[in-house]
C-alpha cells in the first residue's frame, strides 16, 4: 500500500548530518509518508547509518546507485516514489515537524497549484541559526514573474509537488547540472501554478562541503541555459535544449558544437570564453574576442547567471580583456554594465583608455 507522500532524500558521504536530517522527517506530524533514501555511492559511514535508520523505521526505503551524481539520484527517487505527492529533502538540513502537514494542506486546498515550497531559516555547520531568513514570493503570479526575471525563487529542498505533474514534464534533466531544480521549476511553470508558503519550515545548513556552495561557471551556464529554453518555449518556439542528454562541455571543440542549436552554441562559446579568462588558459584571439562580444551582448539581455555581485565581476573581467585588446568601446560598455549591476562593488578596471574613445 502506497503512502500519501514520498520524500526523496539523495545523499553522498553525508555521515555528519544524515541522521539528524532523517530524524526531522521521522518526527513529522503527518505520518503517512515513505522516505526514499538514495545513497549515491557513499564511501564514508553513510551506508551503515542509513541502514540502521531503515531498521528502526519501516517507512524508510533504501535505494543505491554507484556515484552517478545528484540528478540521477533525484530521478531514481522520483521513479521509485509511490505517493501522490513528492517532497524533497537534503541530507544536511532540518525540516520543521509540521512541514509536510502544512504543505499537504495547502496543495489539497489549492488544486490548481502543482508545487509549493516554503521559506527557509539559515544555520551554520554546527546547527546554530544565523538569524537570516528567506523572503521568497508567495502567490503563483509573483513566483512565475520572479522565476523569469530574478532567478530561482523556490528552495529546492523545501518543495512538495504533485507526482503526476512532475512526471508529465519528464522530471529532472541531466543537461542542467547544478541548476536542475531551476530548469524543473521553469518547465513546470509553463503549464502549472507554483507557490511558496510564508512560514520557514526548513533550516538550511551552510557548510563547506555542500554542493550549492560551489557557485561556479557551470552553475551560471546551466541557469542561463534554463532561461534560454524557457524564453523560447514561451515564445512558441521549440525548446533548443531537447536534444541535450548530458551537460555540454564548455569548450566548442569538444561538445559537438555544430550539432547544437545556434542559441546554445553561442551560450557555450560565451562560457568557454569566461572559463578561459578565469583559468588564464590561452585561446585564439578570434574566439576570445567573439566570446567577449557575445557575453557582453548576453548580459544586456539578462544572462550571465544570477546575483548582481557575481555578474559585475564577470563583466569587469570581460572589460579588462577587451581593454587588453584595445577594444575600448566594448571595454567601456562592459565596465558601465558592471557598475550598474553593483555600484561601488565592481572591481576597478586596470586600464586607462585613450581620451575620447569611450
Q: pLDDT confidence of 71, banded at 50, 70, 90?
A: very high
Grid cell digits, residue 19: 541522521
Closest by CA position to 212, among listed 73, 93, 340: 93
The residue among 157, 183, 213 that closes a domain is 213
Q: Is 323 among the domain residues?
A: no
The predicted model gives 166-170 an average pLDDT of: 98
Are 118 and 168 contained in the same domain? yes
The residue among 156, 181, 213 that closes a domain is 213
Q: Is 252 among the domain residues?
A: yes
Q: Is 352 among the domain residues?
A: no
Q: Is 275 among the domain residues?
A: yes
Are 102 and 228 contained in the same domain? no
Residue 356 has pLDDT above 60, yes or no: no
Q: Is 326 among the domain residues?
A: no
Q: pLDDT confidence of 133, banded at 50, 70, 90?
A: very high
Tell me what pLDDT residue 358 has.
Answer: 39
Residue 197 has pLDDT above 60, yes or no: yes
Q: Please tell me the number of Cα atoms within 13 Å of 24 on its side-chain side.
A: 22
Give tens-digit pLDDT for 21-62. Answer: 999 999 999 999 999 999 999 999 999 999 999 999 999 999
Are 156 and 223 contained in the same domain? no
Are 201 and 228 contained in the same domain? no
Q: Report the distance separating Cα 249 and Cα 224, nearest Å.
A: 15
Are 37 and 142 contained in the same domain? yes
105: CB partners within 8 A, 6+ apart? none
Q: Pairing state of beta strands 33-40 and 113-123?
A: unpaired
Q: For residue 12, what are the domain limits?
A: 5-213
Give tens-digit pLDDT for 316-337. Answer: 989 998 898 888 999 999 999 9
182: CB partners within 8 A, 6+ apart? 147, 151, 152, 176, 222, 223, 226
User: CA-based angle 117:87:127, to the nearest 5?
Assistant: 75
Tell me what pLDDT residue 212 has.
Answer: 45
Give tens-digit pLDDT for 230-248. Answer: 999 999 999 999 999 999 9
Grid cell digits, residue 251: 569548450
Are 104 and 194 contained in the same domain? yes
Residue 283 has pLDDT above 80, yes or no: no
Contact predicate 3/31, CB 8 Å: no
Are 205 and 233 contained in the same domain? no
Q: Is 34 among the domain residues?
A: yes
Task: Give me the percent of the chain exceeding a pLDDT of 70.
Answer: 92
Are 143 and 18 contained in the same domain? yes
Are 104 and 137 contained in the same domain? yes
Are 103 and 183 contained in the same domain? yes
Are 187 and 257 contained in the same domain? no
Tell me what pLDDT residue 327 has.
Answer: 87
Q: Is 153 among the domain residues?
A: yes
The tally of domains found in the chain comes to 2
N-term to C-term CA, the chain:
70
pTM comes to 0.92
Give tens-digit pLDDT for 81-132. Answer: 999 999 999 999 999 999 999 999 999 999 999 999 999 999 999 999 999 9
284: CB partners within 8 A, 6+ apart? none
Are 155 and 264 contained in the same domain? no
Q: Please tell me the number of Cα atoms within 13 Å of 227 on its side-chain side.
A: 23
Average pLDDT of the residues of the chain: 91
The residue among 306, 332, 350 that closes a domain is 306
Q: Report the distance separating Cα 132 and Cα 123, nearest Å.
A: 8
Q: Is 350 among the domain residues?
A: no
Amino acid at each position: 500500500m502506497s503512502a500519501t507522500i514520498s520524500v526523496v532524500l539523495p545523499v553522498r558521504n553525508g555521515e555528519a548530518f544524515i541522521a539528524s536530517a532523517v530524524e526531522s522527517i521521522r518526527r513529522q506530524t503527518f505520518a503517512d509518508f515513505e522516505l526514499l533514501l538514495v545513497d549515491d555511492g557513499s564511501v564514508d559511514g553513510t551506508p551503515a547509518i542509513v541502514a540502521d535508520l531503515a531498521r528502526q523505521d519501516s517507512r524508510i526505503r533504501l535505494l543505491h546507485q554507484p556515484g552517478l551524481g545528484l540528478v540521477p539520484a533525484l530521478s531514481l527517487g522520483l521513479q521509485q516514489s509511490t505517493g501522490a505527492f513528492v517532497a524533497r529533502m537534503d541530507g544536511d538540513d532540518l525540516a520543521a515537524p509540521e512541514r509536510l502537514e502544512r504543505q499537504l494542506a495547502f496543495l489539497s486546498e489549492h488544486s490548481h497549484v502543482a508545487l509549493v515550497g516554503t521559506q527557509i531559516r539559515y544555520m551554520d555547520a554546527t546547527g546554530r541559526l544565523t538569524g537570516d531568513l528567506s523572503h521568497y514570493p508567495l502567490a503563483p503570479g509573483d513566483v512565475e514573474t520572479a522565476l523569469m526575471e530574478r532567478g530561482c525563487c523556490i528552495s529546492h529542498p523545501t518543495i512538495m509537488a504533485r507526482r503526476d505533474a512532475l512526471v508529465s514534464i519528464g522530471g529532472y534533466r541531466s543537461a542542467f547540472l547544478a541548476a536542475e531544480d531551476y530548469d524543473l521549476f521553469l518547465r513546470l511553470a509553463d503549464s502549472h501554478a507554483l507557490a511558496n508558503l510564508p512560514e520557514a519550515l526548513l533550516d538550511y545548513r551552510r557548510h563547506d562541503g555542500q554542493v550549492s556552495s560551489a557557485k561556479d561557471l557551470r552553475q551560471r551556464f546551466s541557469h542561463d541555459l534554463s532561461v534560454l529554453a524557457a524564453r523560447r518555449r514561451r515564445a512558441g518556439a521549440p525548446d533548443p535544449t531537447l536534444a541535450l542528454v548530458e551537460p555540454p562541455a564548455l569548450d566548442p571543440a569538444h561538445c559537438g558544437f555544430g550539432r547544437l542549436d545556434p542559441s546554445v552554441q553561442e551560450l557555450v562559446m560565451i562560457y568557454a570564453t569566461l572559463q578561459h579568462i578565469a583559468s588564464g588558459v590561452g585561446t585564439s584571439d578570434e574566439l576570445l574576442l567573439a566570446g567577449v562580444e557575445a557575453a557582453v551582448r548576453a548580459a544586456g539581455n539578462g544572462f550571465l547567471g544570477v546575483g548582481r555581485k557575481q555578474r559585475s565581476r564577470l563583466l569587469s573581467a570581460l572589460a579588462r580583456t577587451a581593454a587588453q585588446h584595445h577594444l575600448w568601446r566594448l571595454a567601456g560598455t562592459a565596465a558601465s554594465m558592471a557598475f550598474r549591476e553593483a555600484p561601488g562593488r565592481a572591481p576597478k578596471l586596470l586600464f586607462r583608455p585613450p581620451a575620447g574613445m569611450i
